[in-house]
Amino acid sequence: MANRAYNFNAGPAALPLEVLRQAQEQFVEFEGTGMSLMEMSHRGKVYESVHYEAEKLLRELAGIPDGYKVLFLQGGASTQFAMVPMNLAAPGRKAAYVHTGAWAGKAIKEAKLFSEVAIAASTEADAFMRIPSADELNIPDNAAYLHLTSNETIGGTQWAEYPDTGSVPLVADMSSDILCRPLNVSQFGLIYAGAQKNLGPSGVTIVIVREDLIGQPAQPVPTMLQFATHAKSDSLYNTPPTFAVYMVNLVLKWLKDKGGTAAMERINREKAGLLYQEIDGSGGFYRGCAQAGSRSLMNVTFRMANEELEKQFVKESEAAGFVGLKGHRDVGGLRASIYNAVPLESVQALASFMRDFKQRNG
């Protein structure tokens, strides 16, 4: 497709072209039903088969063992910032959080509305440009859970390995890196992810939760905000975001077709490697933001000597067909978001643009 942009948007983000094409083909009439999928009941057989297939594919691709529920919810990952403490907090026990940047900070803010919060570790002193090591974590013994942000989409840091939290349930916001690599779900009590970075379009949020954590919350919680409500009804308590779930279904099929998470990790490492190599080999022309060992496979953040040069980079990159390279307003600089669906060719084109830009301006 000649006019498809090199899309490095942070979220909503690139979707696989094959998925868009298939959705287009099925858009007006879904599988001989005489209507689009959006026009039919979520209680009917046709939608149900899409819904349950999406769950089955996710179970298979993420390796979700028995004893975990998969939920399709609305409200984005931001609603999970509140739903997690509303449902998992307990009187007399602290909710522990690792503060690694913008998204962790937002989760902490919501948790404070419902629970006493303990900051198990914070990398604020390093401008959040690193992930703490496991031995920096200070988790209160009877903590209700430990929350971490798997990938800080804005800063460009990512947990390379998750800490062992023993009997304290580990809760992870994987909005921007779910299924970017193989996952050991049994390490977690709960995982949540808004779909619009690595799984599909906006409008649906995935929650993977261990069954023993789905109980009666210790405090009054609205029906729609209780995990139990959605777990009991297979996420069909009320109308689910049917089209978004359908798109996630297609993305998961695409992912399976590509070889699953192990294959994704290989290609994601290759993609990220190309950009970090360009940064590290630039003799200081480009400076990576995240510290070595904490660098994200999904969001590559970097700076240049001054804002003028960064602005020029953004302007020239846009003229050359690149989209979404301007860094988040909180951090500045530049950011290339290279989620699963961003093709290797886009990343190769960016690496070569970076080299060329340096040659002209270095």
Ligand X SMILES: *Cc1c(COP(=O)(O)O)cnc(C)c1O
For residue 277 the two structure tokens come to: 């190599």
- Give the CA-trace dihedral at 276, 280, 285, 286, to 10 degrees: 30
Question: Does the footprint of ligand X cover residue 153 (CB under 6 A)?
Answer: yes
Number of residues that bind ligand X (CB under 6 A): 12
For residue 111, the surrounding DSSP H or E stretch is: helix 102-114
What are the phi and psi torsion angles at 211 (to 5°)?
Answer: -60, -35
Q: Restricting to residues 194-233, name those near ligand X by CB under 6 A.
A: 194, 197
Q: Which of 94, 159, 177, 197 is catalytic?
A: 197
Taking the CA of residue 255 as centre, how many other CA atoms within 13 Å lie in the half-sphere pointing to its CB? 32
List 173, 179, 208, 249, residue binding ligand X (CB under 6 A): 173
| Residue 149 bridge partners (DSSP) | 173
Q: Measured from the CB of residue 29, what is the shortest distance to ligand X in angstroms? A: 30
Q: Distance (Å, rounded) from C-alpha 198 to C-alpha 66?
A: 24
Q: How far is the CB of 118 from ligand X (least distance, A)?
A: 21
Q: Which of 94, 103, 271, 326 is catalytic?
A: 103
Active site residue 197: yes
Give the whole-angstrom CA distance, residue 58 versus residue 166.
Answer: 26
Query: Is 159 annotated as catalytic?
Result: no
Residue 334's Cα: distance from chain center in Å? 19
Please identify which residue in 87, 115, 176, 249 interacts with ligand X, judged by CB under 6 A.
176
CB atoms within 10 A of CB 24: 9
Stretch that binds ligand X, among 169-177, 180-188, 307-315, 336-344 (CB under 6 A): 169-177
Q: Is 173 designated active site?
A: yes
By CB under 6 A, the residues from 95 to 134 that bind ligand X are 103
Residue 76 contacts ligand X per CB under 6 A: yes
Residues forming the site for ligand X (CB under 6 A): 11, 76-78, 103, 149, 153, 173, 175-176, 194, 197
| Catalytic residue ranges | 103, 173, 197
